[in-house]
């Protein structure tokens, strides 16, 4: 076969960046695990926080044990990684290549909703389990039916909005906030999905959206939006934003001393960057995700992650990603061989021992109550606050004034 | 509200101008269409982040280290990577095409090095994010500072280029490299100086915007695109043009976001760009004989 010059160049570069070195192997003495992920391009920021560190951590742990336990024997794992350059065609090509040429035994998913939807048909066609933990889509239940090999750990946008609206409705009934909400959203996948669900959710619960604006990706100045929210008189400010915008919005709110009683910002609020950057000013700010401060498994996971990568994981998808990898490992070991149909069956029906305790999926998704949908910075810890349950803490109101 | 939008627009525009000034020198005088421009800007942001977090050096002092370093590096890039292209090029157009290809490669090298050192994650730090009251409008001090730098650098360099002998030589090269040789101007030296100066300017831009923008190793192209629009709008090689075009873009975006819809800022930017290209293809301050 011939390889185009650019492709060769890209492949050489990807190899250079690769942490894992691919070596020719005899099939039986190794298990090949491959993934295509955004190491460059606009998705790299997210992939490098939520996903790649988890893959590296898990592969290292498995190999430190001697490998996956298959048929009473430890078989070491070999990792093959490609850069999809944040491009869905590239991701599809890389996944196909992993399956047909590298002949990997198992695949790990790419980062983000868009790319996971793009590679879904390939995973399905070849019958590989797809355990996504960076994809949020309202189609998740339908997709799980159409592609029974796909698992959607982050669930639907609806579930997050329902949890948020429930939380705010209680505050409003207690007379602590008014019924007005100012909402801004990035004009891209995440912002569009979440703001659409929020528009419905807030409307049904009797909240009034006094501001509802979207802005293009890459907007570098948030002050007009923050000023408008400030003038709107809403007690609740919700931003479905991407990491650079999340930081800029919070910065601008602080500069303008805009302190709504409830402040909810988008992706990035749960990144380790956020408390580093804002310190005590992060207190009270909310976003998707959240951890249980009392959970020993979470604490242990965080410790391992920091030991290997010198930084905290993200407080939303990271831990669920690690849970999904633990489940995959246990499912393979229970099946005792690389029988992907049996592994999928085990993932669908089995109960697994994870950092979040006993974990069992229902319809290929974690059921409500297994992890928190909405969290809030409380005493320097991103604490889960909704949906209410034994693993969440009460929400703190109002957001502390800026320091 | 009008004053607020006006001031916010000016600060945003100042940032755009700041980011574009280096490119206008590199493209206008050295005739190098530097596609790795944004990457070099982000590299400066990373350097100052590193100096600030690891060595505790304030970003403003960091300027004193990073700007000269960037000038030296740009000088070397020009002497080693670009001079062979300059020698080979039969016409200025050929040089432009070759430099696009060469700096496109450089883009990946710089980006790759940053990815290896810093990974793809987002970086951000807080410096001078304090409110300053200007005419009753609250603006972040770091953004005001970027505007002040853009104005000072823009006006100083404009003055230097139009009122000094060395500056006149640089402009002569921009206008006509062949005739410039006839009046004993060392064209290659002048181009190298312009490229290095441009490198220093882009580093200054990188340091200043890192105070308020969140960045990662992959974000460079955003700056290259913005700088390109500003440079072409303002007139290639004209610093005053870059300043004015940057301000026009900043004001347009802010006015549109304030009174029409934040979702239309990009559309407005490109609409203005298109109108200016149609009416004055050489750019606002460009000369028509090009």
Q: At what angle do helices B239-255 and B141-163 cross, to 10 degrees?
A: 150
Closest Cα in chain A to B268: A216
Whole-prediction pTM: 0.85
Domain around B102:
16-222
Do residues A347 and A363 lie in contact, with contact meaning Cβ atoms separated by under 8 Å? no
Q: Is the pLDDT of residue A13 over 70?
A: no
Instruction: Kindly indicate the confidence band of residue B284, based on its pLDDT and cuts at 50, 70 and 90.
Output: confident
Q: What are the structural domain ranges in chain A?
A: 5-155+296-360, 157-292+371-386
State pLDDT tens for residues B139-169: 889 989 888 988 888 888 888 888 998 888 8
Mean pLDDT of the region A151-178: 94
Q: Tokens 């945003």 belong to which residue?
A: B12
Q: B77: distance to nearest CA of chain A, Å?
A: 21
Instruction: Kindly indicate the confidence band of residue B138, based on its pLDDT and cuts at 50, 70 and 90.
Output: confident
CATH class of domain segment(s) A157-292+371-386: alpha beta
Mean pLDDT of the region B233-243: 86
Residue B258 falls within a domain, yes or no? no
Alpha-carbon dihedral sign for residues B121, B122, B127, B130: negative
Q: B40: distance to nearest CA of chain A, Å?
A: 16
State pLDDT tens for residues A180-193: 999 999 988 889 98
Which residues 94-113 in chain B show a CB within 8 A of chain A?
108, 111-112
Chain B residues within 8 A of A221 when measuring between CB atoms: 8, 11-12, 15, 250, 253-254
Q: Please judge whether A256 and B130 are an interchain contact, meaning their C-beta atoms are less than 8 angstroms apart.
A: no
Identify which of B4, B214, B266 has the shortest CB distance to residue A244. Answer: B214
SS3 at position B125:
coil
Residue B21 falls within a domain, yes or no? yes
Q: Which residues touch A139 (CB under 8 Å, ≥6 apart)?
A: none
Mean pLDDT of the region B110-133: 88
Provide the pLDDT for residue A3. Answer: 44
Which residues 184-213 in chain A show a CB within 8 A of chain B?
184, 187, 213
Distance CA(B99)–CA(A145), nearest Å, equals: 53
Residue A357 phi/psi, 5° resolution? 85, -160
Mean pLDDT of the region A3-12: 48
State pLDDT tens for residues A340-353: 999 999 999 999 99
Distance CA(A279)–CA(B129), nearest Å, equals: 13
CA angle A334, A336, A337 (to 5 degrees): 135
Mean pLDDT of the region A364-380: 95
Q: Please judge whether B130 and A255 are an interchain contact, meaning their C-beta atoms are less than 8 angstroms apart.
A: yes
- Contact of B39 with chain A, judged by CB distance below 8 Å, is answered with no
State pLDDT tens for residues B244-268: 999 999 999 999 998 988 888 889 9
Provide the pLDDT for residue A28. Answer: 58
Provide the pLDDT for residue B238. Answer: 82
Identify which of A224, A243, A251 has the shortest CB distance to residue B8. Answer: A224
Q: B214: distance to nearest CA of chain A, Å?
A: 5
State pLDDT tens for residues A65-114: 999 999 889 999 999 999 999 999 999 999 999 999 999 999 999 999 98
Instruction: Kindly indicate the confidence band of residue A4, based on its pLDDT and cuts at 50, 70 and 90.
Output: very low
Q: Please judge whether B120 and A17 are an interchain contact, meaning their C-beta atoms are less than 8 angstroms apart.
A: no
Percent of the residues in chain B that have a pLDDT greater than 70, as a whole number:
99
State pLDDT tens for residues B28-64: 888 888 999 999 999 999 999 999 988 889 999 999 9
Chain A residues within 8 A of B214 when measuring between CB atoms: 243-244, 247-248, 268, 273
Q: How many domains does chain B have?
A: 1
Residue B278 falls within a domain, yes or no? no
Closest Cα in chain A to B116: A17
Q: Is the pLDDT of residue A17 over 80?
A: no
The fold of A5-155+296-360 is Rossmann fold (3.40.50)
Q: Is the pLDDT of residue A22 over 50?
A: no
Q: What is the mean pLDDT of chain A?
A: 90
CATH fold match for the domains A5-155+296-360 and A157-292+371-386: yes
Cis peptide before A129 (omega within 30 of 0): no
Chain B residues within 8 A of A220 when measuring between CB atoms: 12, 15, 213
Size of interface A-B (CB pairs under 8 A): 118
Provide the pLDDT for residue A35. Answer: 97
Which residues 334-363 in chain A show a CB within 8 A of chain B?
none
């Amino acid at each position: 076969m011939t390889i185009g010059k650019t492709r060769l160049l890209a492949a050489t570069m990807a190899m250079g960046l690769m942490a894992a070195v691919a070596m020719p192997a005899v099939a039986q003495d190794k298990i090949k695990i491959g993934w295509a992920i955004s190491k460059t391009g606009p998705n790299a920021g997210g992939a490098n926080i939520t996903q790649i560190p988890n893959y590296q951590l898990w592969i290292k742990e498995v190999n430190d044990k001697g490998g996956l336990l298959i048929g009473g024997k430890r078989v070491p794992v070999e990792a093959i990684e490609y850069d999809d350059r944040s491009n869905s065609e590239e991701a599809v090509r890389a996944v196909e290549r992993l399956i047909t040429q590298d002949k990997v035994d198992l695949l790990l998913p790419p980062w983000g909703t868009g790319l996971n939807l793009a590679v879904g048909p390939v995973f399905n066609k070849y019958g590989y389990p797809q355990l996504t933990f960076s994809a949020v889509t309202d189609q998740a239940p339908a997709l799980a039916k159409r592609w029974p090999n796909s698992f959607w750990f982050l669930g639907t946008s609806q579930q997050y909005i329902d949890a948020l609206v429930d939380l705010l409705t209680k505050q409003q009934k207690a007379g602590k906030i008014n019924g007005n909400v100012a909402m801004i959203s990035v004009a891209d996948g995440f912002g569009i999905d979440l703001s659409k669900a929020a528009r419905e959710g807030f409307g049904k619960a009797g909240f009034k959206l006094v501001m509802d604006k979207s802005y293009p990706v890459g907007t570098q100045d948030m002050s007009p939006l923050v000023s408008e929210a400030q003038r709107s008189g809403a007690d609740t400010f919700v931003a479905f934003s991407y990491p650079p915008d999340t930081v800029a919005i919070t910065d601008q709110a602080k500069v303008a001393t805009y302190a709504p009683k409830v402040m909810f910002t988008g992706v990035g609020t749960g990144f380790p960057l956020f408390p580093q950057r804002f310190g005590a000013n992060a207190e009270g700010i909310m976003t998707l995700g959240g951890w249980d401060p009392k959970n020993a498994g979470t604490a242990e996971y965080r410790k391992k992650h920091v030991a290997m990568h010198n930084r905290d994981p993200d407080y939303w998808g990271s831990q669920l990603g690690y849970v999904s990898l633990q489940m995959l490992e246990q499912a393979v070991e229970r099946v005792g061989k690389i029988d992907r149909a049996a592994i999928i069956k085990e993932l669908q029906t089995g109960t697994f021992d994870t950092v979040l305790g006993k974990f069992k999926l229902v319809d290929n998704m974690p059921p409500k109550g297994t992890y928190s949908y909405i969290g809030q910075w409380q005493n320097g810890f991103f604490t889960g606050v909704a949906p209410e349950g034994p693993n969440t803490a009460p929400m703190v109101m109002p957001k502390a004034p800026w320091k | 509200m009008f004053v607020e939008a006006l001031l916010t627009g000016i600060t945003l525009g100042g940032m755009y101008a700041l980011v574009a000034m280096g490119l206008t020198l590199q493209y206008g005088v050295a005739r190098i269409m530097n596609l790795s421009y944004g990457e070099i800007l982000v590299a400066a942001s990373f350097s100052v982040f590193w100096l600030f977090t690891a060595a505790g050096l304030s970003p403003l002092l960091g300027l004193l280290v990073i700007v000269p370093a960037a000038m030296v590096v740009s000088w070397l890039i020009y002497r080693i990577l670009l001079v062979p292209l300059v020698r080979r090029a039969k016409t200025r157009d050929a040089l432009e095409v070759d430099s696009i290809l060469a700096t496109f490669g450089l883009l990946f090298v710089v980006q790759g090095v940053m990815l290896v050192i810093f990974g793809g994650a987002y970086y951000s730090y807080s410096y001078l994010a304090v409110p300053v009251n200007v005419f009753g409008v609250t603006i972040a001090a770091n953004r005001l500072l970027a505007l002040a730098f853009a104005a000072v650098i823009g006006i100083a360099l404009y003055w230097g280029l139009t009122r000094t002998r060395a500056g006149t030589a640089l402009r002569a090269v921009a206008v006509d490299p062949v005739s410039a040789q006839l009046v004993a101007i060392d064209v290659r030296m002048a181009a190298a100086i312009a490229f290095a100066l441009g490198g220093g300017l882009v580093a200054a831009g990188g340091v200043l915007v890192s105070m308020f923008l969140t960045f990662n190793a992959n974000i460079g192209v955003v700056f290259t695109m913005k700088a390109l629009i500003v440079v072409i709008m303002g007139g290639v090689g004209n610093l005053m043009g870059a300043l004015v075009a940057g301000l026009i873009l900043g004001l347009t975006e802010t006015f549109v976001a304030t009174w029409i819809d934040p979702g239309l800022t990009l559309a407005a930017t490109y609409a203005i760009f298109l109108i200016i290209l149609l009416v004055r293809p050489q750019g606002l301050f460009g000369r028509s004989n090009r």
